[in-house]
Amino acid sequence: MTTLAFVNLPVADLGRSTVFYEALGYRFNPQFTDEKAGCLIISDTIYAMLLVRPFFGEMFGRPVADAHATTSIMVCLMVDSKDEVDRLCNAAIASGGRKYKDVEDRGFMYGWGFEDPDGHVWEVGWMDPAHVMPEGEPA
Amino acid sequence: MPTLLFANLPVENFARSRAFFEALGYHFNPQFTNENTGCLVISDTIYVMLLEHAPFAGFAPRPIGDTHGEVQASLSLTAPSREAIDEILAKAEAAGATVDPEISDRGYMYSRQFTDVDGHIWTYLWMDPAAVEAH
């Protein structure tokens, strides 16, 4: 059975976040989306659950951190081309995201990133598959 | 090529974290692991990068938050069965995690969570495939 990952993130305004992520070309799974939570589909194994802040705090029984003030997670997505990296980051910035870092181009590896409206940091990158060794093979 | 997830989390002591996640049955990809950073392999598309505070702060745009007192994000992972979840939670507890006594069991969905030594919250869930509509 394939493992699925859900990155759970608090958001101040789910409507605003929905508009933002839809502008990046993503869609939400309606089965797990309501007024308190949005299930953002990144791939068939990767999802982000966007949860309104009071609900998020209740779920975990702790105060919800302000991602505009501190950084305790950075979510990195590796996509299948440099063009896709640029498309996602440019769409994010055009939709109210903030650039998080400049383009880093090392030839075999390319990436930059953005912050979403809640301050969550997303890095988007591409890696030349030929450069990545088969998993588990020591360097 | 499928999209890959690398969730980057700060840890206080990578050797301690490495021992913890190895005790859960996971391994680290040696190509992206050194003495203060490790690439925890969850699946062929899902990875968690554990970075000690100094290297994490080198990438982060803002200071690292209080990962024990507050919560900024958490990770949920699916597991193949209830028994698999109970097993990983038992290993986590034996390795020093704080296991949440609450078990959520709605029949078609079962989930439990623990807090690791750095305060990061991990939820494991099983969903009856028949109950999950194709999207």
In a domain, B20, yes or no: yes
Do A6 and A47 lie in a common domain? yes
CB-closest option in B1, B2, B135 to A41: B135
Distance from the Cα of B36 to chain A's closest Cα (Å) equals: 17
CB-closest option in A8, A41, A120 to B74: A8
CB distance B17 to B23 below 8 Å:
no
Q: Which domain holds residue B120?
A: 73-135
Q: For testing the chain B interface, which of A64, A71, A83, A116 should be mutated: the one with the most B CBs within 10 Å?
A: A71
Strands (E), A18-132: 27-28, 37-41, 46-52, 74-78, 98-105, 109-115, 121-127
- Interface touch B77/A3, C-beta < 8 Å: yes
pLDDT band for position A131 (cuts 50, 70, 90): confident
Do B77 and B134 lie in a common domain? yes
Which residue in chain A has the smallest CA separation from B120?
A72
pLDDT tens for each residue of A61-103: 999 999 999 999 999 999 999 999 999 999 999 999 999 989 9
Do A9 and A72 lie in a common domain? no
What average pLDDT does range A39-61 have in this prediction? Answer: 97
Residue A137, pLDDT > 50, answer no
The residue among A45, A64, A83 that closes a domain is A64
Mean pLDDT of chain B: 95
Number of domain units in chain B: 2
CATH number at residue A59: 3.10.180.10
- Residue numbers in A near B110 (CB within 8 A): none
In a domain, B67, yes or no: no
pTM, two decimal places: 0.94
Do A123 and A55 lie in a common domain? no
CA distance B98 to B117: 8
CATH number at residue B116: 3.10.180.10
Number of domain units in chain A: 2
Do B44 and B82 lie in a common domain? no
Query: Which residues make Cβ contacts (< 8 Å) with residue B43, sequence separation at least 6?
Result: A2, A3, A5, A45
Taking the CA atoms of residue B100, residue B10, residue A113 and residue A42 in that order, the dihedral angle to the nearest 10 degrees is -30
What average pLDDT does range A5-27 have in this prediction? Answer: 98
pLDDT in tens, chain B (135 residues): 899 999 999 999 999 999 999 999 999 999 999 999 999 999 999 999 999 999 999 999 999 999 999 999 999 999 999 999 999 999 999 999 999 999 999 999 999 999 999 999 999 999 998 887 654
User: How much is the ipTM here?
Assistant: 0.95
- Interface touch B65/A71, C-beta < 8 Å: yes
The residue among B33, B61, B89 that closes a domain is B61
What SS3 class is residue A69? coil
Closest among A106, A110, A107 to A123, alpha carbons compared? A110
pLDDT tens for each residue of B82-101: 999 999 999 999 999 999 99
CA distance A21 to A12: 14
Q: Which domain holds residue A34?
A: 1-64
Strands B109-115 and B104-105: antiparallel
- Residue numbers in A near B65 (CB within 8 A): 65, 69-72
